[in-house]
A and B are shown apart, each in its own frame.
Chain A
Amino acid sequence: MLIGALLLALQIGWRAQQAAPSARAEALTPPPSASSIRLATLGEPITASGLLALRLQAFDNQPGISIPFAALDYPRLVAWLDTLLQLDPHANYPLLMASNLYAQVPDPARQRLMLDFTYRQFLADPARRWRFLAHAALIAKHRLHDLPLALQYARAIQMHAGGTNIPHWANQMPIFILEDMGEVAAAKIELGALLASGSITDPQEKHFLTERYQELAAASSKPRQAR
């Protein structure tokens, strides 16, 4: 009994003096191919994708330790996210990580990599992935201050995922970005087309947008009057 207790204490002591596992940025190796992961997990790609996403998540936030995103190899990160989506095309996890986590890095080049990943993946399944691209458009507008890029994303949402499947605010994004870009006339045309399409059925929203259209019309006529 005493020997058993001593051996148990020895085991606990041995493990306690060892350092706790920690995340190292350089430990993020390139991902194996999707087919290798399928093989290794005996044909369970959805579970593999989910668990590997959790592992990837551990590289940016572990108990008591956090690796700055800037320390991570972003092209490698994109390769991992690509693989995760190949394994489970219906998963939201890789797109959420790209648009909401890794795009927060204060480095425009790395942010653009994540936004580009989100855009490419959006085109593969617009109906399911539009909200991640909408977030990417907001990052392009407010963080990168790249209004043409934000407009490209907003127009992609309108064009590929538009219609009744997405909320009106997402459909109306290009109008407000055009307005921010000073393209008041173009914004007026887009808003006019939206109102004329009849897709706005809520009376309050219709009223708000009509007022907005009138403001834009007034603003776009001012420079002409000035001239």
Chain B
Amino acid sequence: MRKILAIARFTLLEAARSRLSWLVLGTVLVLSLASLLVRELAITDSQRLQLAFLATALRATSALLTASFIISSLQREFNDKVPALVLALDVPRSHFVLGKAAGLSLTALLIAVACALPLALLAPAMAWWPWTVSLMLESWIIAAISLFCGFSLRSVSAGLLFTAGFYVLAKSLATIQLISHASLSAATISHRYMTGLLDTLALLLPRLDQFAQTSWLVDGVERAALGGLSLQALIFVALVTSATMFDLYRKNL
């Protein structure tokens, strides 16, 4: 346990010493200013529009910053042979993965909170906190996928592409399924095959469209179902982290 905590601590220290915090701060500031412009352009619903725009932009920013930081930092560590050096000590590979996962997940949660902070000024507190908690859960999932890409793909471009693909699919698969099931060509074999494929894919991915919904902020939250979202995040993060571990064990560093 101490080894895991030590690795997590050094991972957090690395994040703190990098320019990540300035990048997050700068991006949040620029998007907040852009949201003021959107508010000025609107002739009605101006605060609603500002809030919706800022929430959507900050949510995407949180995912992008988390993924790019984790994938690039792991890539740099592999280039510098850091994992080989650490594993040469008395550290099991599982401890190394868990330590990195803990440190990077905490970094992702801090990015999510920083991205959610400007919205606290615009949204009611009762809507803001469930949205922020679910954004943190989403960031945790993104961190786990990015960790998997960083360990397994060993290429920043491939890792970012994979994570972006995962994010887009996990956010839009429910809509794709709806369109697919409502299609007029439902009787054809190829359509049934594609629908079946989509339904199978949907079983493997978390429904990110249910996390951090903009409607919670602008229309209020009736029932955010944070328990279900937390359980989904926990199951998926555990699955992906174990896949990362499995991949690291079978690799020859």
Are A and B interaction partners? yes
CA distance A54 to B214 in the complex (A): 18
Closest chain-B Cβ to A33's Cβ sits at a distance in Å of: 9
Question: Does A214 touch B at the CB level, under 8 Å?
Answer: no
| A43 contact set on B, CB distance < 8 A | 171-172, 174-175, 209
> A39 at the A/B interface (Cβ < 8 Å)?
yes
Interface-central residue, B52, B174, B218, B219, by most chain A CB under 10 Å: B52
CA distance A57 to B178 in the complex (A): 30
Kindly state whether residue B168 has any CB partner on chain A within 8 Å.
Answer: yes
Q: In whole Å, how far is B195's beta carbon from the nearest beta carbon of chain A? A: 15
Contact B45 A91 (CB under 8 A): yes
B179 & A93 in contact (Cβ 8 Å cutoff): no
Residues of chain A with a CB closer than 8 A to B52's CB: 44, 46-47, 50
A55-79 vs B, CB cutoff 8 Å, 1 = contact: the mask equals 0010000000000000000000000
B157 at the interface (CB under 8 A from A): no
Residues in B whose Cβ lies below 8 Å from that of A47 = 52-53, 55-56, 214
* Complex CA–CA separation, A44 to B52 (angstroms): 9
**What DSSP secondary structure best describes chain B's contact surface?**
helix
CB neighbours (8 Å) of A38 from chain B are 172, 175
Q: CA–CA, A92 to B47, complex, Å?
A: 12
Contact between B175 and A50 (Cβ–Cβ < 8 Å)? no
Q: Are B214 and A44 in contact (CB under 8 A)?
A: yes
Question: Hey, which chain A residues are within 8 Å of B214, CB to CB?
Answer: 44, 46-47
How far apart are A92's CB and chain B's nearest CB, in angstroms?
Answer: 5
Chain A residues with CB under 8 A of B219: 90
B204 within 8 A of A: no
Contact A54 B175 (CB under 8 A): no
Is A51 engaged at the interface, CB distance under 8 Å to the other chain? yes
Asked whether A92 lies within 8 Å of B178 as measured between CB atoms, the reply is no
Task: Give the complex CA separation of A47 and B175 in angstroms.
Answer: 16
- Is B190 close to A, CB under 8 A? no
Residues of chain B with a CB closer than 8 A to A51's CB: 38, 49, 53
Determine whether B158 belongs to the interface, using a CB cutoff of 8 Å to chain A: no
Query: Given A51-B53, A91-B45, A91-B48, do A39 and B176 touch, yes or no (CB 8 Å)?
Result: yes
Contact of A2 with B by CB under 8 A:
no
Tell me whether A54 and B45 are in contact (CB under 8 A): no
In the assembled complex, the Cα of A38 lies from the Cα of B179 at a distance in Å of 11
B residues near A92, Cβ cutoff 8 Å: 44-45
CB distance from A100 to the nearest CB of B (A): 9
CB of B91 within 8 Å of the partner chain? no
The complex places the Cα of A96 from the Cα of B214 at a distance, in Å, of 22
Q: Nearest Cβ in chain A — how far from B201, in angstroms?
A: 15
What 0/1 pattern do residues 84 to 101 of B give for CB contact below 8 A with A? 000000000000000000
Q: A50-B42, A54-B38, A92-B45 are in contact. Are A42 and B172 (CB under 8 A)?
A: yes
Residue of A39, A41, A53, A90 near B218 (CB, 8 A) is A90
A35 at the interface (CB under 8 A from B): yes
Identify the closest chain B residue to A91 (Cβ): B45
CB distance from B34 to the nearest CB of A (A): 12
Closest-CB distance, B99 to chain A (whole angstroms): 32
Give min CB distance, A65 to chain B, whole Å: 16
B225 proximal to A (CB < 8 A): no
Task: Let me know if B185 is at the binding interface, CB within 8 A.
Answer: no
Q: Which residues of B contact A46 (CB under 8 A)?
A: 48, 52, 214-215, 218
Given A50-B42, A50-B49, are A42 and B218 neighbors across the interface (CB < 8 Å)?
no
In the bound assembly, the distance between CA atoms of A37 and B216 in angstroms comes to 20
Contact across chains for A42 and B168 when beta carbons are under 8 A apart: yes
The CA of A54 and the CA of B48, in the complex, are separated in Å by 13
**Cβ contacts A to B, 15 pairs, < 8 Å:** A41-B56, A42-B172, A43-B174, A46-B48, A46-B214, A46-B215, A47-B56, A50-B42, A50-B45, A50-B49, A50-B53, A54-B49, A92-B44, A93-B49, A96-B44
- List 4 other contacts, CB 8 Å, given A92-B44, A92-B45: A46-B215, A47-B214, A54-B42, A96-B43
Residues of B within 8 A of A (CB): 38, 41-45, 48-49, 52-53, 55-56, 168, 171-172, 174-176, 178-179, 209, 214-215, 218-219
Which 3 A/B pairs are nearest by Cβ-Cβ distance?
A: A43-B209, A50-B49, A47-B56
